[in-house]
């Protein structure tokens, strides 16, 4: 009788183990079913950009300054194929992303990867897990990130609310940056050659545009100018992408 009880107890524990395993598997499959894979192509290239009344060839992504905003949900996978058509080595760093077993996709030059040489390409693939909020991406080679950068927005999982008492009706990313009336690579190379500090930027930018006090500034639209006065709650996603200085916002 005692032997029968032992067998029954062992069988019961085994059943509970398999039940727990099935529940865990079902939970994992549910998460995978809602997750998506986002594919993007980044072409690094020189693009004529006019700021402060002067046009110069700046290194950009897909001809955009700043670069494209990437939006994903928590749990999604991001695949970005980077093609380097510029004259400099380049890598892309995903600032703030926890690279879980994908450290080779982190992007620091000569740390987690060799640089992407001119004419070369590299594909970054990673899954964003357990994260929500405002991140960004940028070049991680010399001072290319002066113009090669953009927002990376991680939304809650599909069907999940934001952790706010009132849900925002609208969102906008605000990227603070700098602009030089010179090639930023030449600026940092000159500083290295002389041993002095790099020349300060000629302007500060918001989403790639100098403010109204600079010459040849773009006109601010009425929609942008009144964003803080709108009745629905607006989620402002602030990103400090400056190189030499750090800015606060209030």
* pLDDT tens per residue across span 133-192: 999 999 999 999 999 999 999 999 988 888 877 878 888 999 999 999 999 999 999 999
- CA angle 61/64/66 to nearest 5° reads 90
Does position 68 have pLDDT exceeding 60, yes or no?
A: yes
Does position 15 have pLDDT exceeding 80, yes or no?
A: no
Question: For position 28, what pLDDT does the model report?
Answer: 47
The owner of tokens 């980077």 is: 82
Sheet holding 149-155, edge to edge: 70-73, 149-155, 133-139, 92-95
* pLDDT tens per residue across span 108-123: 999 999 999 999 999 9
Q: For the residues 210-232, what does the mean pLDDT come to? A: 68
Does position 33 have pLDDT exceeding 80, yes or no?
A: no
Q: 249 pLDDT band (50/70/90 cuts)?
A: low
Q: For the residues 60-79, what does the mean pLDDT come to? A: 97
Task: Give DSSP secondary structure letters for 25-58.
Answer: HHHHHHHHHH--EEEEEEEEEEEEEEETTEEEEE
- Sketch the domain layout of the chain as residue ranges: 34-165, 174-240
Q: Distance between CA 162 and CA 154 in Å, rounded?
A: 11
Question: For position 222, what pLDDT does the model report?
Answer: 46
Does position 236 have pLDDT exceeding 50, yes or no?
A: yes
Q: For the residues 37-42, what does the mean pLDDT come to? A: 98
Average pLDDT of the chain?
Answer: 86
* pLDDT tens per residue across span 224-233: 555 556 566 7
Q: For the residues 191-216, what does the mean pLDDT come to? A: 91
Burial of 106 (0-12, 13-18, 19+ CB in 10 A): buried
Q: Distance between CA 106 and CA 91 in Å, rounded?
A: 9
Q: For the residues 61-86, what does the mean pLDDT come to? A: 98
Does position 58 have pLDDT exceeding 70, yes or no?
A: yes
Question: What are φ and ψ of residue 115, in 5° steps?
Answer: -65, 155
Tokens of 155: 């939304």
Q: For the residues 82-90, what does the mean pLDDT come to? A: 98
Looking at 3.30.70.380, 2.60.40.420, 3.40.50.300, 3.40.50.2000, the CATH number of the domain 34-165 comes to: 2.60.40.420
């Amino acid at each position: 009788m005692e032997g029968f009880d032992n067998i029954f107890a062992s069988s019961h524990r085994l059943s509970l183990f398999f039940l727990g395993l099935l529940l865990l598997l079902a939970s994992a499959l549910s998460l995978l079913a809602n997750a998506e894979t986002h594919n993007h192509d980044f072409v690094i290239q020189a693009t004529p950009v006019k700021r402060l009344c002067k046009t110069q060839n700046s290194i950009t992504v897909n001809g955009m300054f700043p670069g494209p905003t990437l939006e994903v949900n928590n749990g999604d996978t991001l695949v970005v194929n980077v093609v380097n058509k510029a004259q400099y080595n380049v890598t892309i760093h995903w600032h703030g992303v926890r690279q879980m077993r994908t450290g080779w996709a982190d992007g620091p030059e000569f740390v987690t990867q060799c640089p992407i040489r001119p004419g070369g390409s590299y594909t970054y693939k990673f899954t964003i897990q357990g994260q929500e909020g405002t991140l960004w991406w940028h070049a991680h080679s010399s001072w290319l990130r002066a113009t090669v950068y953009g927002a990376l927005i991680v939304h809650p999982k599909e069907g999940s609310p934001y952790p706010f008492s009132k849900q925002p009706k609208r969102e906008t990313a605000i990227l603070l940056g700098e602009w030089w009336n010179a090639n930023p690579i030449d600026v940092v190379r000159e500083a290295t050659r002389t041993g002095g500090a790099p020349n300060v930027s000629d302007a500060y930018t918001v989403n790639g545009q100098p403010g109204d006090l600079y010459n040849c500034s773009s006109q601010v639209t009425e929609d942008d100018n009144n964003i803080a006065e709108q009745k629905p709650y607006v989620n402002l996603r602030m990103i400090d992408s400056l190189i030499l200085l750090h800015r606060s916002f209030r």
